Structure formats: structure tokens, C-alpha cells
Amino acid sequence: LKFHPMLLSYLDEVCRIEAAAQSPHQHWTRQTFVNELNNSYAHYWVAELVDRAAIAGFIGFHEIEGAAYITNLAVDPAFQGQGIGEVLLRHTIEKAIGWQIHHLTLEVRESNHRAQALYKKYGFEIQGKRPHYYLNPSEDALILWTSNIQNPEYKRLILSAHSCDIV
């Protein structure tokens, strides 16, 4: 995988992945992504499968007062189950550590147990719930936070976590 900062030129592919990965749930529009790319607090990357010249997924976060709020992570369904979501998350965590960010947070659908297991592996813990946060269909969101990612113990967690092989 090769990571690139998300650019407007990637948005057709990003929107296709977003719609396919979130289906049948409500997903972001192209204008939402344009707004995010113009947000000075936002950082977004795409992951390219170099041997296939294909965008496999993307991730983004907002940097706010020492915390990184992960806003979106999606992997093309054609490439799901190959560890790409985990590699995207690790890339983001490593960036956040390097930028002296102290905490990570996000919301996840209460029914998305696969994503919750991944986040738990990287030290995220449930800190609350947002009732009816998601639409189409309505569903509660779990609010997840990490401990201080600048802590040497957390950095060891990241270094010791096994990367998945990417096909």
C-alpha cells in the first residue's frame, strides 16, 4: 500500500468507495468531502494498491485541541477482509503520534462489531453512546476514545501490533 494525501482528483473513486462500503447506510456526499478537504483541521489520506493502481480505501480525522477525531474510514468492498482498514488506522495513529496528538476518538455504529474489534485492538474504549446518531437506518453510535497515545505503553502497543498481510 502507498498512502497519498486525499486530493480533489481522488474524489470520484473515494465517493464510489464510500457509497459501496456504507451501503445500505447513509453516506457522505462529494460536497462533504470537498468541504473536508477545505477544512484546515482535517487530514485525509487514500491508500493505493500500487500493483493494481487502485484506491483501496481512505481515512480522515480532524485535529482538535490535542485530539484526533477520526471522521471516516472506508475500504472498497472488493478489498475488505485483507487488513487494509487496519493498515489505514495504523497509518493514522502513527501520524497522530508524530504530530504530538494525545488522544484519538471516533463514533462507530453499535452493530458494527468488526470495526469495534479493530478499534479495541488499538486501545479504543467505549466512553459513551449517542442515541440515534446514524440515519438511514437510525442507530446509536458508540463513542470510543484511546488513552494518551504519547504514553510509552501505548507506543509499544502500536509497535507490537501485528500488521496484516496485504494482497
Catalytically annotated residues: 107, 119
Q: Starting at the edge strand that comes first in sequence, how are the strands of the sheet with 125-134 ordered?
A: 2-5, 42-49, 54-64, 67-75, 103-109, 139-145, 125-134
Q: Helices 11-22 and 30-37 sit at what angle, rounded to 10 degrees?
A: 120
- CB–CB of 105/148 below 8 Å? no
The x, y and z cell numbers of residue 165, run together, are 498481510
Secondary structure class of 122 (helix, strand, coil): coil
